[in-house]
Amino acid sequence: MTQVNRRRFLSGGIAVAGGGVLGAFGVSGTAEAAPDARPPQVGGGEIGSGWTFVAADGTAADGSVLASAQNVAGLKPAVVPGTPLTSMIANGEYPDPLYGRIVTDTVPDSLKDTGYWYRVAFRVPRLVPGQRFWLQFDGINYLGTVWLNGTRVGTVEGAFKRAVFEVTDIVAEADGVAWLAVLVGKLDYADPPALPSYASGVTRGGRNGGPTGITLKNGPTFFCTAGWDWLPTVPDRDLGIWQPVTWRTTGPVRVADVQVASTLSQDLRTAEVAVSLALDSAAGESVVVTGSLDGQGFRRTVSVPAGASSVVLTSKEIACLRVDRPKLWWPNGYGEPYRYRLAVGVESGGQVHDERTVDFGIRRIEYTTPMRSPSGTVSQCLAITVNNQPILVMGGNWGLDEALKRIPRDRVRAQVRLHRDANLNLIRNWNGQSSTEDFFAACDEYGILVWQDFFCSTEGPPAENVARDLANIRDCIVRFRNHPSILLWCGGNEGPPPQPLIDGLDALVAELDPQRVVLTSSAGDTGKNPVDGYRSGGPYHWVPPAQHFSLNDGTQWPPFRNEVGSYSIPTLEFMRKMLPEASWEHPDDFWADRDVNGNGGNGGGAGYLRLTAERYGEVRNLADFARKSQLMNYECIRAIYEAPVAHMRSAGPYPRTGVIMWMTNPAQPSFVWQMYSHDLEAHSAFYAVQHACRRVNVVLDARTFDVVVANHSREAVRGRVDVSLYGLDGAEFGRASFPVEGVGPADRGVVGSVASALKGAPAEVAFVRLVLRDLRGLEVVRSFSWVESPGREAGFAGLDEMPAAAVSVIAGVSRGPDGGEVVVDVRNIGESVALMLHLQVYDVRTGERVLPATFSDNYVNVVGGESVSVRARLDSDQVRRHPRVGVRVDGWKIDERASRLRGRGVAVTFNRDALDVSPAVPEFGR
């Protein structure tokens, strides 16, 4: 990635208000954009505060006036980066529409029907001879027209295209302050809002993409904001300056782009690094390219003509560009995602003209394996190998990073970190809606591969302006191609784009990034050498775990499924936060605006409530719904990943090569398609994913009751699996031990079966505990399941008849300069199984949850006499904001009187609201 003044920007508040507030440089409304401490000709900064805005409804002044020191009435403080709606929320004009409200009832949909003027003044340096001044916009949705000091500078089209303008002549006459105005144009095509309807059984009562889908004709924009089955209609359609605005000075020669391409040998022992510089020179001259890689410096003199040119450096000219025994970038769980840093600059006469740093990774990717399809033909199927290691893709789909584009870097990093902690290794960036430098940098850091879609979907007509689409695609490839996390490029969602876009995309990848594969769409590939063996298509709703094992038993085509999901209900606390109190016990359109109808699977929200009651017994109130839903979440979502894990490599004619859950990241508070909540609380779905995707695992096949050892690692696994079977009373009724003779690298093996033992269970419901031990008898991993006895399937209502569990919970907290750690020791001191024991960290003063605070394990299952220790890490900011924290405990059935809670410098309490499941609300769910 090319780094320019890395920043932490705000999107939830205004750092320095404009319009009458004295800025840092003594100018009313002036942004804080002081030059960096750099060589005299090179500097820069972000224009991130002091912005104002106003609707471009014909009453505002034009650009020549706004881009000047003249007083302009009606301007209000603006959040940049941000959208008009985030500015209005920050200014108190509207409450946050995603919490306790229906979005389209809270904010008028007319916000989309106008463009917006943005204005800011910022300090500029006095230019020295030969110095050049540049303005850069990293993202404007949808159309931007830029004015500086009364002069129209240029335009940018499409949400995902950068714009860089040289404004040297204007700044040279600015006398220290520049006035910038940007007209953000509205969409060319917009649908009316899609309204929520609980009774309809489908979210917002109809199709995705708005009532007609016409929004997609705009091309590269956030078209999902028209309304999708996972996103309400966003009233301003996320217009605005949604990415940073920066300024930069250079000498006569500017480094416009740096591309770093590495080629790793088959034996992984050497790597050849090629560096391509795109230069922009004010006049022809001889310059010295300087730089360093991994601490080794280099210099090379080159002749640069006036205008645009390029320079390519290889190990033939620069010895250090051949790397011996390179440190490799690995996907999460397979090794360190190591990144090298390349520093490069251009100078002459001892004066630096420009300089950049690029972080990149060295890795080798192979994309396919031959497989005979059901038609009998042998095709190249999508199957990823990284650094000679076969990788079972276990990923998550991101529809949008956040509904209102409130995405400060810390939030993006936390979201990606949760994917790492859940043991996932890939994120699919659906339709490219979350394409930012912060996103890709976080994926690089945490070892998360990226399936990078572009901007076409089958939910509406194709983009009208093909050239605009391709220009945005070109810039995305150039901008992000240095990121080692990017696995492949993909034209769009669930169907091929128009042929001109297909041809254009294929040509762009061949020109700009030929080392990576490009797919036509997420539904199939029509390229010259097509990649086969992958599809989307769900299921997108709750199904019994056995069904996922049937769909992934190695006999079903295709072997790679990039969309499959389920309901994923959050905790009681979050449901109460995202819904008005009057709706807590009465599902209605407020629930529908939070996606409870999904795509209509399970009969929508009402059908899912009935299904929950059928499987786990009558749902008595909201707390009971939350409690039972955590078990529903866990068993289905764990199976989404465990089924492919149990049938990879050597299983059947079509062994599994990958699965990407729809979805893992929620753009808004939601009841469906997520593994954590919008406020970054990890509920049971998260731990289901985490448990299923462990690199060495033991899995109970929910269809056959086979015991499977899954091994994603590079070494064979040997040892044994100890099996214990328990009844509802917690008493053990069976045990077995299966030898593990050797499950090879990146493979799986069936080591035994518990089907016959389960037929002798004392009741219709039983518990199965599997413990994989190594050759020394040490525990490697354990798995716990509740199952229906074969031949006596009747659901899990019987769980309510099991005796309550008695537990000991002891918690402590340690604090240091880098943050703190909450440690919780849990022990089952009774005989009954402690099922889905749930822990939360909370602020003792306010009672609010501390988030994100993800435990090393949670929703734990502990049999009598067994214990477990778990940890939750708090960063330094959380420790500062929450000086007194506590731990709350709830679970399936807990005997509070017989349990013991103790804290060491931390409060430990029962979560009585979550445990209050007995008072029935007769009309709940009706």
Q: What is the pLDDT of residues 635-647, one digit of tens each?
A: 999 999 999 999 9
Q: Answer whether residue 657 shows pLDDT above 50.
A: yes
Region 89-108: mean pLDDT is 98
Beta-carbon contacts of 469 under 8 Å, excluding residues fewer than 6 positions away, are 158, 219, 220, 454, 455, 456, 463, 501, 504
What is the rounded distance in angstroms from the CA atom of residue 109 to the CA atom of residue 104? 7
| pLDDT tens readout for residues 554-595 | 999 999 999 999 999 999 999 999 999 999 999 999 999 999
Dihedral sign from CA coordinates of 897, 901, 902, 906: negative
User: What are the tens digits of pLDDT across the range 252-284?
Assistant: 999 999 999 999 999 999 999 999 999 999 999
pLDDT tens, 507-566? 999 999 999 999 999 999 998 899 999 999 899 999 999 999 999 999 999 999 999 999
- Please determine, for residue 99, whether its predicted confidence score (pLDDT) is greater than 90: yes
Look at residue 758 and give its three-state secondary structure. Answer: helix
Q: Which amino acid is at 627?
A: R
585 neighbors 923 (Cβ within 8 angstroms): yes
Contacts of residue 363, defined as CB under 8 A and 6 or more positions apart, other chains included, come to 262, 264, 328, 329, 330, 386, 387, 484
For position 440, what pLDDT does the model report? 98
With bands split at pLDDT 50, 70 and 90, how would you rate the model's confidence at 204?
confident
The strand pair at 307-313 and 270-281 is best described as antiparallel
Please compute the mean of the pLDDT values over residues 144-162 and round it to a whole number.
97
Residue 890's DSSP bridge partners are 838
829 half-sphere exposure, CB direction, 13 A CA radius: 15
Residue 250 β-bridge partners: 132
Q: Side-chain half-sphere of 567: how many Cα atoms within 13 Å?
A: 29
CA 623 to chain centre: 29
Output the 3-class SS for 842-864. Answer: EECCCCCECCCCCECCCCEEECC
